[in-house]
Chain A
Amino acid sequence: MKRKLNPGYIYIFPAVLIMVLLIGYPLIYNISLSFKDVTLANLAGNDQPFVGFQNYIELFNHELFPVALKNTFLFTIGSIAFQFIIGFALALFFSMNFKLANFLRGLMMVSWLVPLTVTAMLFQFLLSPSVGLLNHIPIYFGWIEEPIAWLSLPEYAMWGIIITNIWIGVPFNMLLLATGLNNLPKDVYEAAAIDGATWIQRFRHITLPLLKPVIMIVMMLGFIYTFKVFDLVYVMTGGGPANSTQVLSTLSYQFSFQNFDFGLGASVANILFVILLIISIIYIKMTDEDEVAS
């Protein structure tokens, strides 16, 4: 395959072109914005003073930056861990052959289909201490005595949003892992069964290694989509109470669209971007080694 132009590039070209045109430009725009002092007054004109790293310096000294950074990681790791574990467990359960398995698995996807804004409001409702069912049910069963004001207490609010996000993300994890499971070669399992391998042995030595590429993709995409979360937090708590749910994307939004400090808002978005970029590079490295190894 060492000829002039690798034909693979032709196949890739349309997809790359669309993305370069539609996302490449916003990317560059945003990077340049972060080095300027831009408010609504000069957002359109050419009169945008270059201020070097001043926005970044201001950001690093801003009291909310470390808070938002910590919250973003807490939200991401909390969400992904539970989404993955529950999603995997359910994928395994529904991969057992029983009549309703496919139907029920499809049905559960519904939680992923509801528009995000609606889910956010729905859970705001369900988590409410006065009318929220997620409080009334445990009280009814005597698990808790007092309703928990999930979204109104700084120590719980983030978990309220994480619970919501887990509910949204589990079916996605389940679907991808389930299709991955279904694609595993059946003969290996049959051979293992003949060799007398237990269920756990088969899971550890066959399922997990074979599923690794799919697991990596699920984790990776999960990380990206969770890390840049906006709608959920914006609708459910707006970053409050007392900034306990302030994440990088809501902070960026607040700087840009509430304070009209677009340079500062862009710098937050870029930090978010750089973090995701670093994680992606690590991921690519890992999959590269993987492919070389296999």
Chain B
Amino acid sequence: MSAIVEAKNISVEYITGDLRNIGLKEFVMRKFTRNYHVESFMAVNDVSFSIFQGDMLGIIGTNGAGKSTLLKVVTQIMRPSKGYVRVNGKVAALLELSSGFDGELNLKENAYLRGAMLGYTREFMDRKYPEILEFSGLKDFEQRPFKQLSSGMKSRIAFSIASMVEPEILILDEVLSVGDGAFREKSEAKMREIIRNGKATILVSHSIPQIRRMCNKVLWLNHGKQVAFGDATGICDEYEKYLKTGFLPGAE
């Protein structure tokens, strides 16, 4: 059986510093006065993992561990400075829920735009749209401009689109922590269905109980470095211990 997602020795060098929000004038001035500083750090440092059909991978780690950056590599938004990722299948990523939606457009237009961004055809969206609307439970808000919807509603429609469009690989970044209780249950059920259909999911979450409940594999990152990858239960135990004591396993 071949891997759905295979990441090998991925490193991402992240550039930061004065290059953001700088004008040409300012740039020339700082260059001239040797006051222009660009730093780089390893946001992801030598990480390897692979997931197979039906796997659900949870990525855990404290803030700034490189989780989101790693997901950006998997979705090919970013290119790794070292290593490679092989992805076999169509990816639907929910990296940040409200991103890519336009406040001026209504729900339907936004749904189509999102579908287009995820790489689907118009015919497919025509077929799936009623289902998406139904699942989100936002039928009454169909004609409203998006900016009038609450953030919970936005994430509901975002999740509905991403899961309804039958992705082979679903990538979720801190997505399930929004929405009300009822919808959260519904979305977890939906995700189990996606997993049952033989597709893979990657989930980033700070909720360890959720990871325990849903994932069979876990990747633990700390400051860009891979602490552990493997069976969910064992790593979750260690991670909870780390959160209490502040010691990485093997560091004592």
Q: Are A and B genuine complex partners?
A: no
Q: Chain B residues in contact with chain A, CB under 8 A?
A: none
Q: Chain A residues in contact with chain B, CB under 8 A?
A: none
